[in-house]
Structure 1
Amino acid sequence: MADRFILSRKGMIPVAALVFLALAGLVLPVSALNLSATQYIGSTPAGGTANYAILAGIPWGADPVDLLIEVVGIGQKPDLQYVAVEPIKDTYKYSGRKVVSVNEENVHLEPGIKKQIMLTFQLPADIGDESRYAMVVVHTIPGKAVNASDVNIPVFLTPIGSSPTMAGSITSLDAGTARAGQQATITTGYKNTGNIHQNNLVNTITINGPNGEVLGTYSGEPLSTALLPEKTFEFRVMPDNKNLPAGNYTILSKISLGSGQVIDRKTTTFTVTQDSKLPVSTTPAGSTPAVPATTKSSLPPVLGLVALAGALIILSCRRQQQK
């Protein structure tokens, strides 16, 4: 069967070569929206105005794009993900939706040409020490509904010179009962009761024996996402229960900032009905346990296709040389 070619400015290119280049990531349709910022965290004077510019663009080779930009409320899921909240549903005490505005709601982008989106912040003069939070949503038209092409930009605003309240409360601490051959789950529920977001929260669990001796301590990794005021999160520790003598134990749970400042602490009892063993594995809420590596390995499907395409190119070139 004759080789197939596509005419280009540089001559005839084998179809197999185009397939290889596409799979290698060198010839791909480009439509990604590029923004110079994906989050804004800053301070603004109470009663004053501040601006922040975001550059938006699409790469060369992409189709022109029309954007719709709007300011909405912000929410936070139990896994800490920030989400956009429709204005009609935005009842958040610390909402900054009304103090953030954009200079242009409709923006047209041509490939390779960047445009500036200007955000303006204006905090009330009587805001006190409270921070404000909002979400700037960049939609691709058509449609105002949230979809896969939307980009959410969280906005955190703190009054300059304010003295925010850094406070929180452990709302629940549950250890259940440890049984032989089963894992117990130590769950610590926590709520940010302050008026500012909290960064790098850490949960530390200490288990004491019947005589007060420390039997085990676990400090998880700091949370990588800030917890907004009034929002909650659950930490979970799962020990493997095998070797502890039956009896009652005391659990101390502490929540602290990455700096070491303790926000709150709470104790409860932990009952072991048979022998068990203290913490072997711990998993914060919302995280995925690591999957052990396997000895079996193979090329991913895409790399296999790349290798096949490369072989086709070599074969095509040899045939041309033979001719």
Structure 2
Amino acid sequence: MKTKIIFSLISVIFCLAVTTQPLTAAGGLTVYNGKIETSVQPGSNNVYTMEIANTSDAPMDIGVEIKGYGMSPTQDFISLPPKDDVSAYSALSLLNASPSTFHLEPGKSQVVTVTAIIAAGIGNGGRYAIVYIHTTATGSGVGVISAVAARVLLTISGSKLDTTSQIASADLVKSTAQQPAGISFTVGNNGNYHFKPKLKATVRNGTIVVATTDLVAPGWPIIPGYSRQFKLDLIGTSPLLPGTYQVEIEVKDESGILITKGTFPLSVTENQTLLPPATTTPKTSTIPPSTLPTSTTITLSPSTTSTVEQNSRSFPALLAGIAAGAILLVIAMVAVGRKRK
């Protein structure tokens, strides 16, 4: 089944649900258009669609809920029960999904409509929630419940976007026989808008740089009111010797704009092995990496499920790539024509 791109015109607002790779949980629950990341106008009604498919060989009953979007220092996102979503930037009360329950035979699909009603005085920044699509338990005993968490990230058009953030104190992660030394720290978003962090650390002895890190490319966003822990491998031409150093950490957004930076003392009590520059590869941005199982075997209970999410590629970016390729092809054809003349 191919990803479907669906356009809706509601209250003269053109809404594009960001196209993603299908999100598939174990058990055959598959969601197309499984992320909404877009701008919305104050005082508008906005409609997005997701297609829910049963790609298994067994029938399933499906439930669709709007839940809170949370994080933890070691998890990129958490589906929060409504009562636990107390963020000032929650989109929980703005969203509605229909239908909320339905049955799917093998190979069948159902379009779910997600409506976002934005008040005229909504305020500044972003609004966040999760559309939680899951199989439902029937009967009693032991069974498997699968779920997909489709993230919603709305930007209030024309509002003031604030990504004020802070870095918690940096700590040395000691080297082992298998791993080089590293720096761990936590970045907290105190603003009103999410960002995907680019991270870099530099260790100095006075004015002399003794170790650095790769510039870690942005991954999952940090949403307002939450923090994320990171670990960066240290790179250097010689071991880091015992002593007291200064480590400077820079946090930029995905476009390269500096969000925050900080300098912290770093105490080293024994020789630390560093990653040689010749063998460096950009990696390791979080401690520990999030584990997102797609399903679990449980005693049947609708409140106990597992989730899956995936990174996405936006449809506008795909169109831009196609357009760029077409322009290059036209230029090449004109050049060939001139040579023939």
Partner of residue 267, structure 1:
263
| Structure 1 CA distance for aligned equivalents of residues 173 and 287 of structure 2 | 20
Q: Normalising to structure 2: TM-score of the pair?
A: 0.65
| Structure 2 CA distance for aligned equivalents of residues 31 and 284 of structure 1 | 30
| Structure 2 CA distance for aligned equivalents of residues 243 and 35 of structure 1 | 49
Question: Is the 1:216–1:279 Cα contact (8 Å) retained in structure 2?
Answer: no
| Structure 1 CA distance for aligned equivalents of residues 109 and 270 of structure 2 | 66
Cα–Cα, structure 1 residues 50 and 252, in superposed 2: closer, same or farther, change >3 Å? Answer: same
Task: Give 3-state SS (helix, strand or coil) of 1:81's partner.
Answer: strand
Task: Give 3-state SS (helix, strand or coil) of 2:83's partner.
Answer: helix
Gap runs ≥5 in structure 2: 1-25, 139-143, 290-341
Cα–Cα, structure 1 residues 81 and 187, in superposed 2: closer, same or farther, change >3 Å? Answer: closer
Which of 48, 53, 77 in structure 2 is aligned with 1:52?
48
| Structure 2 CA distance for aligned equivalents of residues 165 and 270 of structure 1 | 30
Question: Is the 1:177–1:271 Cα contact (8 Å) retained in structure 2?
Answer: no
CA RMSD of aligned residues (A): 3.0
What one-letter code is carried by the residue in structure 1 that aligns with 2:122?
Answer: I
Question: Is the 1:187–1:237 Cα contact (8 Å) retained in structure 2?
Answer: yes
Query: Once structures 1 and 2 are overlaid, which stretch shifts more, 30-39 or 69-78?
Result: 30-39
Partner of residue 146, structure 2:
149
Which of 29, 34, 38 in structure 2 is aligned with 1:38?
34
Deviation of 1:165 (Å)? 1.1
Which of 187, 194, 199 in structure 2 is aligned with 1:197?
194
| Structure 1 CA distance for aligned equivalents of residues 274 and 247 of structure 2 | 12
Cα–Cα, structure 1 residues 109 and 187, in superposed 2: closer, same or farther, change >3 Å? Answer: same
| Structure 1 CA distance for aligned equivalents of residues 98 and 71 of structure 2 | 27
Cα–Cα, structure 1 residues 237 and 101, in superposed 2: closer, same or farther, change >3 Å? Answer: same
Aligned counterparts, 1:29-108, within 5 A: 32-59=28-55, 62-108=57-103
Deviation of 1:137 (Å)? 1.1
Per-residue CA deviations over 1:208-236 (Å, capped at 9, x if unaligned) read: 223x1222221342242111111111222
Cα–Cα, structure 1 residues 240 and 33, in superposed 2: closer, same or farther, change >3 Å? Answer: closer
Partner of residue 23, structure 1:
none
Which of 217, 233, 236 in structure 1 is aligned with 2:228?
233
Partner of residue 170, structure 2:
173
Cα–Cα, structure 1 residues 58 and 246, in superposed 2: closer, same or farther, change >3 Å? Answer: closer
Deviation of 1:32 (Å)? 1.0
Cα–Cα, structure 1 residues 135 and 273, in superposed 2: closer, same or farther, change >3 Å? Answer: closer
Question: Is the 2:213–2:235 Cα contact (8 Å) retained in structure 1?
Answer: no
| Structure 1 CA distance for aligned equivalents of residues 63 and 241 of structure 2 | 63
Which structure is larger by alpha-carbon Rg, 1 or 2?
A: 1
Q: Normalising to structure 1: TM-score of the pair?
A: 0.68
Partner of residue 204, structure 2:
208
Cα–Cα, structure 1 residues 176 and 121, in superposed 2: closer, same or farther, change >3 Å? Answer: closer
Per-residue CA deviations over 1:136-158 (Å, capped at 9, x if unaligned) read: 11121226xxx741221111111
Amino-acid identity (%)? 25
Task: Give 3-state SS (helix, strand or coil) of 2:168's partner.
Answer: strand
Partner of residue 155, structure 2:
158
Per-residue CA deviations over 1:38-60 (Å, capped at 9, x if unaligned) read: 2111122112100001112224x
| Structure 2 CA distance for aligned equivalents of residues 142 and 245 of structure 1 | 58
Task: Give 3-state SS (helix, strand or coil) of 1:169's partner.
Answer: strand
Question: Is the 1:253–1:267 Cα contact (8 Å) retained in structure 2?
Answer: yes
Deviation of 1:184 (Å)? 5.3
| Structure 1 CA distance for aligned equivalents of residues 103 and 173 of structure 2 | 57
Aligned counterparts, 1:212-227, within 5 A: 212-227=207-222
Question: Is the 2:212–2:235 Cα contact (8 Å) retained in structure 1?
Answer: no
Deviation of 1:244 (Å)? 4.5
Which of 105, 108, 112 in structure 2 is aligned with 1:113?
108
Deviation of 1:246 (Å)? 4.8
| Structure 2 CA distance for aligned equivalents of residues 56 and 139 of structure 1 | 10
| Structure 2 CA distance for aligned equivalents of residues 273 and 73 of structure 1 | 44
Cα–Cα, structure 1 residues 176 and 151, in superposed 2: closer, same or farther, change >3 Å? Answer: closer
Question: Is the 2:174–2:272 Cα contact (8 Å) retained in structure 1?
Answer: no
Per-residue CA deviations over 1:75-116 (Å, capped at 9, x if unaligned) read: 113233322111122212211111000122121223333321
Alignment of 1:187 with 2:188, yes or no, is: no
Aligned length: 251
Alignment of 1:286 with 2:287, yes or no, is: yes
Deviation of 1:273 (Å)? 4.8
